[in-house]
Amino acid sequence: MKNIFLTVIAALFCVSALCDECLSEPFSFLSESDMEQAVTLKATDPIYYSGDLASGEPEYVSIKVQDVDNPVYEEVLMYLEAPFADGVFYWDYYAPEFINLPAGHTYLLTETIKTNEGTEEYSHTIKILPEPVAFLILGIAGFFFLRKRAKALAAFVIAAAVFATASARADGCVQSVAAGQFFPFDRMVIINYVLESEENDEFTVDFFCTTDEGATFYKLSEYGTLSGEGESGTVQGNGAHKIFWTPGENFDYIHSDSMRIKVTGEVVPPPPKTFMTIDLTDGSVSYSPEEPTGGWTEEYKTTKLALKRIEAGTFKMGSPSDFGMRGDTDLYQRDVTLTKPYYIGVFEVTQKQYKLITGQDPSKFKGDTRPVECVNFNTVTGEGGFFALLNQMTGLTFGLPTEAQWENACRAGTETSLNNGTDLITNDWDPNLSQLGRYNGDWEDNKINTSYNRETVPVGSYLPNNWGLYDMHGNVAEWCLDWIETSHLKETDPVTDLVGSLTASYTTVRGGYYKAIGKACSSAARTFPNKNIASSNSQAPQYGIRVFMQIEE
């Protein structure tokens, strides 16, 4: 009883590791020497067949037997028309149609697979072991085995039962494994396995075999050749998959009556959705882990709209009270925590993008890749406005960022007045600000982008911040979602998900614009258009927009 208990406990410990793996039921596996001679079969031996061994769409699969010693005899044992799944065929040569198959003769067993691309055949010579002889041999062997090993056998049977039952309940992504040798035609092993996850994920998989109930495992790719779904080590998609293993020369000597196949699997984490791209010609949305090969070409400023994922976190919003270039309307510096990630536009919305969505371009300074301007808060956020039409096109929910979300994206982890980690030096031509955006000091000769004198410039003309966002300083001022009262400017207590009131007196606009002085373009700078400006139909050309979308996770 002690041996039984210990064996069962050992099996249970093995099962506890099966969260991402599963074992097949035992099956017989021939050695190379077995295949070099006629295979001896009993009536109850399984014969494996598979239409997937042939290329093309299968039409039928059949198995026939021919008497080599009496060529006149030929019988079709099985015939299946498509559609069919590969499986196991059992035949009984004591049935009336096989009554003339004498034991001791040599027979040729052939599987024929017909597809739309041709016909393939697999065959092997077999001999039939008379059933009474088989039972006699097994009975004698069983008597001597049980006489001395009854307890050990009982322990093995109980442990195997526990192991098999528990392995079928494995909680991992590998849900089931069914395997068998392509018996008796070939030594190749056919492995069917099922993968499941919450999404239609990609999986990493590996394949092993054991001939001693798990004491030793052989990695199949090191002992032969794999072909099929998983040969590269990865598989895409939930559901049933199939792979074939052809043993190599280093596995030729193996013969086993209880081989088992183990499949291990793990869900591959999907690539991060760092960038979202909207195709404005059809509204389709795609994601990528990095910037496109070749960079942000013109199409991302015209027919496509790119957004960058910004993670949740805490940042310092506003400017220090003792900073010399501090704006009069800057918030006092405070810690702000954003609890949800979001997407925000890599660029300001351009005139071409705005026109593809609304059919209009209200801008004063025309140019497909220049930012759209002369737009007001009500126009872009109201019914039938830019965001309503964009949402209708994509099925997603876009809008304006809050002040906190905008400044967090602008700063990109910095606490300085500019998002390249430097501070403003002067309100006139500032060597730091002139690297980042279009503003009042950037018009003189020998300065950057002088071809657009006192106007906006195409988006992306200046350097991006650390998170890859362009024109967060200057070019056009960008509408934000929340409205405020100026009495809130001096609050310094930490706050979570800061949102201003939509019923306050002033809208908020961030980032400065092409005619603004230096400190009006800093990361903390803000202006307060009143409600009349927010709804005016004759808007000045300094106001534009940047697309935002909250991520719900």
323 alpha-carbon distance from chain centroid:
46
Q: pLDDT digits over 419-461, tens only?
A: 999 999 988 889 999 999 999 887 654 455 555 668 999 999 9
**Residue 114 domain-assigned?**
no
pLDDT for residue 216 is more than 90: yes
Apex CA 164: angle with CA 160 and CA 166, to 5°? 115
Top mean-pLDDT range of 60-64, 80-84, 344-348, 480-484: 344-348
As a whole-number percent, the residues of the chain with pLDDT over 90 amount to: 56
pLDDT for residue 155 is more than 60: no
Is residue 39 packed enough to be buried (19+ CB in 10 Å), middle (13-18) or exposed (0-12)? Answer: middle
Strand 106-115 versus strand 118-128 pairing type: antiparallel
**Cα dihedral across residues 320, 326, 332, 335: positive or negative:** negative
Report how far residue 63's alpha carbon sits from residue 45's, in angstroms, rounded to the nearest whole number. 14
pLDDT for residue 302 is more than 80: yes
pLDDT at 154: 34
**Residue 126 domain-assigned?**
no
Q: pLDDT digits over 358-398, tens only?
A: 999 999 999 999 999 999 888 899 999 999 999 999 999 99
The size of the chain, in residues, is 553
pLDDT at 156: 32
Report how far residue 40's alpha carbon sits from residue 45's, in angstroms, rounded to the nearest whole number. 10
pLDDT at 96: 66
Structure tokens at 192: 């069917």
pLDDT at 539: 65
pLDDT at 9: 34
Count of domains for the chain: 1
Structure tokens at 461: 């003309």
Strand order in the sheet with 74-81: 39-41, 118-128, 106-115, 58-67, 74-81
**Residue 76 domain-assigned?**
no
**Residue 96 domain-assigned?**
no
CB 213 within 8 Å of CB 160: yes
Please state which of the ranges 22-31, 70-79, 129-138 shows the lowest mean pLDDT.
129-138
Q: Which residues pair with 108 in a beta bridge?
A: 66, 125
CB 338 within 8 Å of CB 497: yes
CB 256 within 8 Å of CB 211: yes
- Residue 345's domain is classified under what CATH number? 3.90.1580.10
Task: Categorize the per-residue pLDDT at 139 as very low, low, confident or very high, splitting at 50, 70 and 90.
Answer: very low
Q: For the chain, give the mean pLDDT.
A: 84
pLDDT for residue 69 is more than 90: no
Domain that holds residue 450: 275-550
**Residue 205 domain-assigned?**
no
Report how far residue 350's alpha carbon sits from residue 459's, in angstroms, rounded to the nearest whole number. 7
Task: Categorize the per-residue pLDDT at 100 as very low, low, confident or very high, splitting at 50, 70 and 90.
Answer: low
pLDDT for residue 176 is more than 60: yes
pLDDT at 288: 96
Q: pLDDT digits over 347-361, tens only?
A: 999 999 999 999 999
**Residue 356 domain-assigned?**
yes
Q: pLDDT digits over 250-301, tens only?
A: 998 889 989 999 999 999 988 899 999 999 999 999 999 999 999 999 999 9
pLDDT at 149: 34
DSSP H or E stretch at residue 5: helix 2-15
Does the predicted TM-score (pTM) go above 0.95?
no
**Residue 181 domain-assigned?**
no
